[in-house]
Structure formats: structure tokens, C-alpha cells
Amino acid sequence: MLRRTLIALAATTALSAPAFAQDQDIVDIAVGAGTFTTLVAAVEAAGLVDVLKSDGPFTVFAPTDEAFAALPEGTVEALLADIPTLTAILTYHVVPGAVMSTDLSEGLTAATVQGQDVTITLADGPKVNGANIVAADIVASNGVIHVIDAVILPE
């Protein structure tokens, strides 16, 4: 059942992604989607745009604007003023290599660019560190994006 959920999620995402998405890099897709304005602003503030436009491949667990809005009031503003912490949080959302939804398995751990691991769970739908993966397998020219509904934080 979990595999069917992942395949259905991937199929839904593939239909909603623009046909030209594979010709765009991760940053271009995030900008074009219109639902990642906070993430894009944070990536720009942290000076990570060039990294996420490089060859990769990368897997990005991308929090939506709603995910950032759910953080306690003032958190985003404080992070934008604390670039080292912002960079650590953003790079915690990035895994080297292209990890597709079909590669995910219960309890899978993956080292992030930040250095700590994230953990995948599949019970009650696919999650990364408890954040729901709400859209998967958005393929970019330099990796893949999985949309998540929460900002995940390193320990």
C-alpha cells in the first residue's frame, strides 16, 4: 500500500510539473512554482543560489511558504539575520544525489549537505523527519525536489 501511495504521489506530481521542468534547475523550478518564495529568499540570503544551480545532482526537501509561515512568529526574520544558522537549516534540507520516491524505504537515513542525517518513514504516508512529503519527484536538470509541509531542523 505504501508503495502504491508513493507511486500515486509521483504520478500526481509529474502531471502538475511543467513539461519543461527537466530543462530547469532546482532554483528556477522553485522560483517558477510561486509557492516557495520564502525558501527562495532564504537561499538568496544565505548565498546558496549558485550551489543549487550547479550540476549536482541534489535532492531538495523543499518547505512551502505555508511551512515557513507555521514557524513561530519572528523566526524567519531572525534566521535571515543569522546567516550561519540559516545556512545550516537550508543545507539540512539538501541531500547529495538524486533520490527519487521509489528509492525511499522505511527507516532510510540519508546524510545531508549540512552533515547530519535525515530519516524517511513511510507509515501514514511518506515523511522526512516527520514532515509530510506532499509532492514528490519534481525532476530538475540538476536533481529532484520533494515538497514538504514543514521546515525540518538539525539537532
The DSSP line for 25-77 is -HHHHHHHHSS-HHHHHHHHHTT-HHHHHSS--EEEEEE-HHHHHTSPTTHHH
Cβ neighbours of residue 66 under 8 Å, at least 6 residues apart? Answer: 35, 149
Residues 114 and 27 sit within 8 Å (Cβ to Cβ): no
pLDDT averaged over every residue in the chain = 88
Give the pLDDT confidence of 41-97 residue by residue, as tens digits. Answer: 999 999 999 999 999 999 999 999 999 999 999 999 999 999 999 999 999 999 999
7 — pLDDT class (breaks 50, 70, 90): very low
Q: What is the pLDDT of residue 81?
A: 95
CA 43 to chain centre: 12
Distance CA 134, CA 12 (A): 10
Q: For residue 13, is pLDDT > 70?
A: no
- Residues of the chain with pLDDT > 90: what percent? 85
Fold adopted by 2-148: FAS1 domain (2.30.180)
- Do β-strands 109-111 and 117-121 pair in parallel, antiparallel, or remain unpaired? antiparallel
pLDDT value of residue 21: 52
Cβ-in-10-Å burial (0-12, 13-18, 19+) of 37 comes to middle
Instruction: State the pTM of this model.
Output: 0.86
Give pLDDT, residue 23. Answer: 85
| pLDDT tens digits, 28-37 | 999 999 999 9
